Amino acid sequence: DATGHNVDVVRIEASGVVFGKKNKGFTLTGAGGGSSGLVITDGTSGVRVTGNLASANSGVGFVFFFGFNDDSSGHQLRDNAAVANDGDGFNFAGSGHVLSGNLAIANRVSGFEVFGSGHVLTGNLASANGADGFFFSGNRHMLSGNSALGNGRFGILVGTGASATISKNNIFGNNGVPAAPPNFSGETNCGLLNRTGTTIDARNNFWGTAGGPGADPADNVCNEGASSTTVDSFATKEFKVKTTAFLDELGLVVPADSEQNETPAPASLSTQFLKELQTKDGLLFHALGVVNALRLEVTDLSGGKIYDSGFVRGESLNWQRVDTKHKPVANGVYLYRLTARHRDGKEVHSELRKLIISK
């Protein structure tokens, strides 16, 4: 814990380092001043980072240091989670890195920001990040067997001059709010934005409905200028994406707009640090503050009501991931609102927040 100081929590400056192990990793938090949770420096190779959580850092969760002379290569990041960092979840360049089974959830910028060449991403989840789930620059990247769900901007953005093969991914619930000028032109509902100026292969992906890319509730494919995207032979049902055990064992999901350094205010949920703990028995919601009772309301992305708990006494509320008829809800992206009732009877509401169900 860097406790707010302007230092990276961990820096790896040598090749061949092993940091963490599945289910036996480290929590990296508290980097201030734009510093990051974990940094792998330029010129290294063959570093393995496994089973760690980077949360609530003012910079990036996991970053492979890059600049004009970046020559890092062959790193492996497996089963890590980047949650609620002020920058990206994962940000890297170099060549030939493999990222598998990682989570990037509720980071203020992108889930995975990819530069360099020849990287392979498989089995990763990017959800509820403020910008893109996956952003690609550079060339010859492979994105297969991942999920981009409910991100604020695009599920996947492939930048100018970049190239990537995109297959067997789940891409839906993204870009619910128009992407703002001047960098964008008000695009909305774009699961994939192609800015390459060429054709990219995005066949055999699931876009949210059996009918392929299109209007809500599916995500669409958006092309800029001379760009084009091949999407025929799309998948008609959601892929099973095996991500890290964090969702089942640790499951920390912190909304991107939480202010973690503030003292919880008893009169406002919107400024409180709200925490969700996903366990095998359900989702545990906890509000810090002088709260007498909580109410949870869950809707789908179109606003249809899925669940309403009514008021439950206490500062915590457990939802067993069932709908109003007590049937299990499907995997996907949902919206929820918490209402807190204080001891004086006053009720306050949180803003709508995104929630991913993966079980």
- For 100-132, what is each residue's pLDDT tens digit? 999 998 899 999 999 999 999 999 999 889 999
**Closest of 121, 205, 201, 195 to residue 164, by C-alpha:** 201
The per-residue pLDDT for 148 is: 94
Task: Give yes or no for residue 261 having a pLDDT over 50.
Answer: no
Mean pLDDT of 293-308: 85
What is the spatial distance between Cα 357 and Cα 330, in angstroms, rounded to a whole number? 7
Dihedral of CA atoms 18, 19, 22, 24 in degrees, nearest 10, equals 130
What is the spatial distance between Cα 29 and Cα 247, in angstroms, rounded to a whole number? 18
Q: Could you tell me the two tokens for 350?
A: 């949180």
Mean pLDDT of 237-245: 74
Q: Could you tell me the two tokens for 342?
A: 């204080």
What is the spatial distance between Cα 104 and Cα 126, in angstroms, rounded to a whole number? 5
Instruction: Name residue 70's amino acid.
Output: D
What is the spatial distance between Cα 24 and Cα 49, in angstroms, rounded to a whole number? 11
Q: Is residue 262 within 8 Å of residue 268, measured between CB atoms?
A: no
> What is the residue whose two structure tokens read 């508290």?
30
Task: Give yes or no for residue 189 having a pLDDT over 70.
Answer: yes
DSSP 8-state symbol, 328: B
Distances (CA, A) of 87 to 6, 26, 32, 108, 282: 14, 20, 11, 6, 29
Mean pLDDT of 347-353: 75
pTM of model > 0.75: no
Q: For 202-221, what is each residue's pLDDT tens digit?
A: 999 999 999 999 998 899 99
What is the spatial distance between Cα 43 and Cα 341, in angstroms, rounded to a whole number? 54
Distances (CA, A) of 269 to 79, 334, 355: 32, 19, 17
Task: Give yes or no for residue 260 having a pLDDT over 70.
Answer: no
Q: Quick one: what percent of the chain has pLDDT higher than 70?
A: 84
Alpha helices in the chain (DSSP H): 246-249
What is the spatial distance between Cα 199 and Cα 219, in angstroms, rounded to a whole number? 19
Task: Collect all residues with Cβ–Cβ distance below 8 Å to 344 and sequence separation of at least 6.
Answer: none
Q: Is residue 136 within 8 Å of residue 114, measured between CB atoms?
A: yes
Cis preceding-peptide flag for 181 (omega within 30 of 0): no
Task: Collect all residues with Cβ–Cβ distance below 8 Å to 314 and sequence separation of at least 6.
Answer: 291, 292, 293, 294
SS3 state of residue 247: helix
What is the spatial distance between Cα 126 and Cα 133, in angstroms, rounded to a whole number? 5
Beta bridge partners of 156: 134, 192
The per-residue pLDDT for 77 is: 96
Q: Is residue 251 within 8 Å of residue 357, measured between CB atoms?
A: no
Q: Could you tell me the two tokens for 143?
A: 């994105």
Dihedral of CA atoms 139, 144, 147, 153 in degrees, nearest 10, equals 20
Nearest-Å Rg of the Cα atoms of the chain is 20
